[in-house]
Every structure is written in structure tokens, then in C-alpha cells.
Chains A and B, each alone.
Chain A
């Protein structure tokens, strides 16, 4: 696959060239190898799922992508450039944002404030003006509020705009977290188990939001998910991990029928 080769999916979305490429990534914690020699890529505009049993290294992989972990071996190529060792906020300023497996919101703050927090990196007026909330800082805040309100509308969370996040049910907290990630206007969105702990209806809603985000904003999405039904419906391509190794990579249909994947999920006699 060359860098600028693009294609159109059956439902009419355009998938571009490679946005991010992982080359022979190995991540160790002391003597434990969490990820072993994994290579795969994420293409512009696609929904890429990472699947695997518990402890397969999925979340570690996501942490490598957004710069939280630094692999001992291998290189990451983002937008055609080899990425240096960097911190998560640098990744964020390059357009990578994420949600977490266990909701990580400011529990005491309102939904609105939580999402506004996602705009932090886009705010440029100095601390002093912001503290006074006056003049250019006020102007800037209004601009950011407009963006945030669009996201609130998009994710249909108007009714909880002013509610403290801690008082919301889990499914809604997940949605607020997605909203905060979107507030950074990411080009690559990482979702760590966005549907965990949700009921069927909430899952359907969340699936629709993920598809809509991808479709409306053209955001590239990499997501970890356990629910195979969801993965089959959402993902363009799936990479399957087991014990830190890549065992399959391809379309959902290919991966689902892959013997190694079936073995990994159902278990085999060793």
C-alpha cells in the first residue's frame, strides 16, 4: 500500500493514504513484554478497530500511539514523519485525542466545563486575560463556546449541559468524554472501549455517534472494542492482538473467520 493510494468504501466514504504507521513496535515493562514486534497502519478517514482478549496489549498499544508509553524498539511514523519520543500533550497538539476505558472526567465539574477543558490546547490568550475574563480572552471564550455548543448539539447532550458529571449515569459520562475528545478537533481519535458497560440501546446510540463523527468531520478513529457485533458494524479494518502479538489484520470479515482469532477468543488446548 503506497502512501497516497486512496479508495472508496461501499458506503461512499473516502479512505485516504496512511496517516500513522507502527513499525515493529516492542514495549517492555521490566521483564514483561506487553507488545512484541507489532506493525500495522491507520489510514486517513478510516475506522480502525483493535481487538483481542484481556491482556492482549490493546490499551498499551493505544498508549503508545498517544505518546504515554515509549516503545523500546520500533518506530512510529505519523503524517509521513518518524515520531520522536514525546509526551501526551505533544501528541494532543498534533491532533490526537482519546477517551479512556474507565471514564476520566472532572467529576465535580459540569458537562459544559468538562468539554470546554478539551479546548485548552486551542486557547491562546495569556493567563492574565483569562483570569480577568475580559477583552480578548472573553472573545476567545465565546468562540470556543460556539464550537463546544456544536458538539453538545451533535452528541445530543443539551439536557445535561449544566449538570455535574459525577451525577450522570455511566452511559452519558462516556458520551461526555467523547465530547471532550472531540472538542480538541482531533484528526485521529482514539477510543478505549467506548461501549464498555453499556446496554444495547446505549451501544446503538454510541455506534451512531462514532459513525457520524467519522462521516461528518472526517475524523480518523482507532478504537478498542470487545463487542464483536459492534466491531463488525463499525470498523473498516481490524487488527487482532493476543499475548502482545499481532495475530490477524484485515477487514472485519477476514479477521472474524481467522482461525488464530477464533482460537484466541475461545481458547485452545496448548
Chain B
């Protein structure tokens, strides 16, 4: 399946793409980074020189073919260079999440057997040194930012700049070795190892070859017609496959410019200054931005507010139709253009999205209203579905076929099939080589024919060929009557309401579905304030009849929309209650990344689930809670159980 020949002119490794870019786009910007308040930039010719010197320096440090080089830090040009320099000498870069604690780093560093660590600054060096006695293979630590490093014992420490200088000084001696190393690499050489942060168990090292990265990049670049004149903002973790594809794969394939923010906190301001043409962000970023806009509009003068809402309503009506190239009346077009001048363009400029030609979101479901908001402004926001093992791309939304509730059609070159249990399988040129030092996991994920199990359940929508992801395959079950039960799909629908923070759906092997709801204290609290509803605690607000009425409205709306879904109309919520406490990682009810732990909730709230199914109208309960300092206490409450209206199911599609 992956028998494509290497692309023209032997562009089959990242270092060879670098050489091509330096030749063809020598004076075009390759990297920009804001430092000392000014955007500094490096052309491809300068980049090539920086990387070459660093690679020579690595040779001086005796970096061998096949060595693993861990990269720890935020997105900075020098760290990207270090990755490509390591590849140039035949080593394999292994980027790590820079916010991991030392313990987590120890596992990955030990598992991949890194001989070299390239750390951004003192903070990262400290973390590595803290666990270095457990890392017998670790030989050298190279740091980029010299600050605070003067007093350290430098027998195993070097500054990146010094390495470059040494490499440059020894270039006559080292160049032939480098040339030899570059020659040894081909399309099947390992390009990078990326560790996935598994929700269960230890992280796994996904080995991706040059073929995986370059084919994925080539295909996606052609799909979205990215060119050398595009630019991206690199702000998502370097250890994440998306960043590697966008900021390395696609960047080297097309020669576009990668911009690095000044610091993690200045991202929003830097985004505005750079105005990238190609932009990726997870759904929560778009949600947060929209909330910020709305809050600021609430504080604006009544006239401004009126204008804003007037034109936003119009944008909602015609904005995405215009973007999709569908027919729109002349009058509506004219009005949209006025709106663009008065509201949309200035707003997009504030958001840093004036120039965004293609925007992507992925990773989680995005609320349809949020998605529509950005699209109605004329921002071409699309969704894709992917994972590390696929070098990102599994499905992608083509222009003109963008929807909030699907993840698009199979990306070019990707084959997808749905397993008997509803699980999505794919194979593609981007399919990973293996999990590093983990043949069992490799075998259980990827079969001999190259099909990879995603662990997600989904189905193809009839007629359009779009893939819909419904849930993690292991959470998907059946109701007693045999219809499909996909809790996360329904919970996401509920969570799209700002008033609902969290929801847990029950119903596997039961007659019908019931739900726990957590209200969002800030949103509902704000609502309560405006409606003169007094409350003294979360518990009191959660139990207020008017709040229950409001949530019931949301639940019934969700039921109405579920009723029209031929696959999931069995998942309508018959009864629900609002929990008296927020689900909390400290109580073990959620993971640290705020994913619901269903098994624990099933056990802990068995009495509530029982009450939801036995027809009682209220239930008294006592729950143990853990405070932040580890002390335990308990809260008791009497919760009202509400019946929600359910809608007749539409005929099941054959």
C-alpha cells in the first residue's frame, strides 16, 4: 500500500528538503521568533547554515547514527533546528512535552534510551538532572538559554550556541562525515519518535519514518493548496504530532514560514501581529476566544452592541453559505459586505485571523454554534480527524463540505473501514512503523496488512460519505432493545450549552438513558445574578427549581435533535438530575485532563443511578469529598429528579 516512489529529485528526507529550500527559496523567511519585542527572522539560507553548524557540532560530540535525541522546550526556532540537525547526522529526534514533571520525563527518556537531551532552559535542565541518575544512557545535556546556567557543573552540559561554534570551527574536518551521514538516509529512515500521552497505561513511542511524514505532508499540502507564501504560528507542544507535521513536515515540503511566539502568554498578541494564513487550534481555544469576545461585547456601549448583534445575525444567515460558494441574494451579499467593513473585518483582526485562509480544529468535538460563529465571519475553519499513529491525517473536510457534526471524508491516500463493533480502522502512507520497543502493542493495534485500529467508534453518513465519530469504542454499548448507546456523543451535545459543564450518560443494557448534569458555576451564576436568583453555594444553585427548568429545556432540545438521528435516537434522556457537587479529579471522578472516569462514577453514585431508574422523584444522598489539601469530608443533599420529554424516534435507517 505504501509503495509510492520517493518524490522528485530525491526529496525523501527532511535534511534533503532543507537543502532544496535553501537553494530554491534562499531569501524567503523560514522562521520568525519574537524576541526583545521585535520579530527576528531567518531566511532558508540562514536556517540551513544554522542547522549545518549545529549538525557539525553534534558530530563533534560524537552523535551516532540511530542515537535518540530528546528535545524539551517550547516552540523555538533553535529547537526545530536541533531536530533537523539531529536528523542530518542520522540521529532520531524525540520531542517531549515541556510541561511534564521530571517523573514523566524519566520514563520517556529511559524508554527511548536518549543519549542526548536538548533542553530549552534551566528549568528543563533541572528536571533532567533530577532524574539523571536513573538514566544510564544519557551522556550530554545541551541547553539553549544560558540564563542561570553559569554555576552548573559543565562536564556533561553544553550551550547550544557553543556547540554550533565548535561545529563551525571544525567544519573542514567534519563536513565529509556529515555528507556521508546524509547520504546514508532514505525514505524508510526513522524521522521522529513521538510519545503519545495514553489515557491508560504508559505512553507509547510512535515511530514515524520519513515516508510517513513526507507523504502525509505532501498529500495535505496538495489538498489545501498550501504554498511557500503561507505562514503558521507554532504554539502547540512540539511533542504533539500535529506540530511536527505543520511546523516541520509541511513547512519543509512547501518552504512556508514558521512563526514562534515570544512566550506562552503572548500567543494571542503574537497571533494578531503575525496574522497567519494557516492556523490550527483545539476546540477549547476557539471556545475561549468566543467567550472573551462575547464578554467584551456585553461591556460595550448599547449602540455598538446593537450593531454587533445586527450584523452577526446576518452573518449567521449567509456567512457560511458565502464561504461554501452557495447562492446568496445580491441584497444579502451587499449587506454582508457592509457588515464586513463595520464588524467582521475589525473583529477578525482583533482575533488575529484576518489572513487565515485555512483553519483547522480537531481533537474533540466542537460546538456547532462556536464552529458556525467563526465560519460566518468568513474564516474557513474546518475539521479533521487524525492521530499520531496516522501522522495526523485520517479524514479531512474539503472546502465546500464543511460541517460541525462530521470529521470529513477520508484524506487522499487513506483507506477506512468500519469494523463489526463499529470501530474505525484505517491504513495510509502515514501509518506508523511501530511502537518503539513494544511489539505487543504494535501487533494489537496494527495488523499485518497495515490496518490500524483507532479505538474510536464511528460510521459513514449515507449519501455524503462523511465520517462521524461517536465515541471511544470501549464506551459504546447497546441499550436493552438493541439500539446503539454512545454516551460521549450525547454528553458533548449537552456540554455545548454554556450552562452545562459536565454530563454523564447512563444506559448501557438498560431500557432507556438517564443523565447526571453538572452546571457551569460561572455561566449559571451569571444568569442567576441577572435574574435576581440568590444563592450561597454551588449546591444551592444546582438545586434551584429555575435552574432545573433551564437545564430541562436544554435536555429536551438535545432529545429533539437526537430523535432525528437514525443511529442514536435511542439515547434520548428520559430522566436526569443535577449533581450537588462538581465532578473533580481530586475525588478520582475525572482524569487530570478532565475526562470522565465512568467506572468510578458508576460505583460512587450507584444510589443516584438506582433512583433515576426506579421512578422516584427525589433522592437523598451523602457523598464523600476530598479537599485540595487531601482532607476528606462529606456533603449530603436531597436531589430532585426530573422527567424530560422524549420525542418519537424517526424510522431507523435500513
A residues apposed to B, CB below 8 Å? 11-13, 145-146, 149-150, 152-154, 156, 158-159, 161-162, 208, 211-212, 215-216
A11 engages B151 (CB within 8 Å): yes
Tell me the bound Cα distance from A146 to B36 in angstroms. 7
Tell me the bound Cα distance from A161 to B269 in angstroms. 11
Stretch from B23-31, B258-266, B280-288 forming part of the interface with A: B258-266
A145 / chain B contacts, CB cutoff of 8 Å: 37
B272 to chain A, nearest CB (A): 12
B32 to chain A, nearest CB (A): 15
* B213-265 CB contacts (< 8 Å) to partner A: 262-263, 265
Taking A12-B150, A154-B147 as given, write out 17 further A-B residue pairs in contact, using a Cβ cutoff of 8 Å, ordered by the A residue number: A11-B151, A12-B151, A145-B37, A149-B37, A149-B38, A150-B36, A153-B35, A158-B34, A158-B37, A159-B262, A159-B269, A208-B148, A212-B147, A215-B150, A216-B147, A216-B148, A216-B150
B37 engages A152 (CB within 8 Å): yes
Q: Which residue of B lies closest to A149 (CB)?
A: B36
- A215 in complex: contacting residue of B37, B148, B263, CB < 8 Å: B148
On whether A156 and B263 interact (CB within 8 A), knowing A12-B151, A212-B147, A215-B151, the answer reads: yes
A153 engages B36 (CB within 8 Å): yes
B262 engages A158 (CB within 8 Å): yes
B126 to chain A, nearest CB (A): 11
B565 to chain A, nearest CB (A): 44
Q: How would you classify the secondary structure of chain B's contact residues: helix, strand, loop or mixed?
A: loop
On whether A158 and B263 interact (CB within 8 A), knowing A146-B36, A149-B36, A153-B36, the answer reads: yes
Most B-side CB within 10 Å, residue of A156, A159, A211: A159
B: contact size bracket: 10 to 19
Tell me the bound Cα distance from A215 to B36 in angstroms. 21
Q: Which residue of B lies closest to A112 (CB)?
A: B37
List, sorted by A's number, 23 A–B pairs whose CB atoms are closer than 8 Å: A11-B151, A13-B151, A149-B38, A150-B36, A152-B37, A153-B36, A154-B147, A156-B263, A158-B37, A159-B263, A159-B265, A159-B269, A161-B37, A162-B269, A211-B148, A212-B147, A212-B148, A215-B148, A215-B150, A215-B151, A216-B147, A216-B148, A216-B150
Q: Mark B328-345, 1 if CB is under 8 A from A, else 0.
A: 000000000000000000
Q: Which residue of A lies closest to B268 (CB)?
A: A159
B265 / chain A contacts, CB cutoff of 8 Å: 158-159
Q: Mark B149-169, 1 if CB is under 8 A from A, else 0.
A: 011000000000000000000
Tell me the bound Cα distance from A267 to B38 in angstroms. 55
B597 to chain A, nearest CB (A): 28
Most A-side CB within 10 Å, residue of B37, B263, B266: B37
B36 / chain A contacts, CB cutoff of 8 Å: 146, 149-150, 152-153
- B266 in complex: contacting residue of A154, A159, A211, A215, CB < 8 Å: A159
B38 / chain A contacts, CB cutoff of 8 Å: 149
A168 to chain B, nearest CB (A): 12
B159 to chain A, nearest CB (A): 14
Closest 4 CB pairs of A and B: A159-B265, A149-B36, A159-B266, A158-B262
A150 / chain B contacts, CB cutoff of 8 Å: 36
A56 to chain B, nearest CB (A): 33
Tell me the bound Cα distance from A208 to B148 in angstroms. 9
A171 to chain B, nearest CB (A): 14
Tell me the bound Cα distance from A208 to B265 in angstroms. 19
Tell me the bound Cα distance from A158 to B151 in angstroms. 26
